[in-house]
Amino acid sequence: MSEIFQKQNSTSPVWQVFRKQGQMARFEEIGTIKEFVEYATKQGSKNAKRYYCIITKETYRALFQIQQNDPNTIRELLDAMQLSFLQSAEYVVRNALIAGMASNLYYKDVYQLCKKRLQAFGENVGVTSVTNKPPHLK
């Protein structure tokens, strides 16, 4: 089944569906990170806004071996299966942040919870390679 997903590219309707779903998941994740930034700031964090980038990089690190430099284009280089895993990982992040804040954990502990859950998710689905070539040219 993963072969079906991997053969999809940005012109494929399947890929486009996964990309759109991923955009919605990212939008929800960003909203939760925003809440977490406010939570961390209230607890004294001076650089809480960096969590947008830090969490995104941690998500990519848990799922992918990235062999290109521009993090803004990574999603366009993923195949449909990788997009699916990324979407799920963003829900893992969101749920970890919500759970940590609901438990009134110290913000650094909330981040560690998020990181731990991401790493476990990545270990379960496996790390895949991302190159400069779009999926249809791999």
DSSP character at residue 47: S
Q: What is the mean pLDDT of residues 44-64?
A: 95
Residue boundaries of the structural domains of the chain: 43-132
Give the whole-angstrom CA distance, residue 137 versus residue 76: 12
* Whether residue 60 has pLDDT greater than 80: yes
Token pair for residue 30?
Answer: 């960003």
* Whether residue 133 has pLDDT greater than 70: no
| Residue-wise pLDDT tens digits, 16-36 | 888 888 889 999 999 999 999
Give the whole-angstrom CA distance, residue 18 versus residue 14: 6
22-26, 51-55, 90-94, 99-103: least confidently modelled range: 22-26
Give the whole-angstrom CA distance, residue 108 versus residue 6: 37
Q: Whose CA is closest to 110, among 54, 28, 62, 63?
A: 54
128: β partners: 64
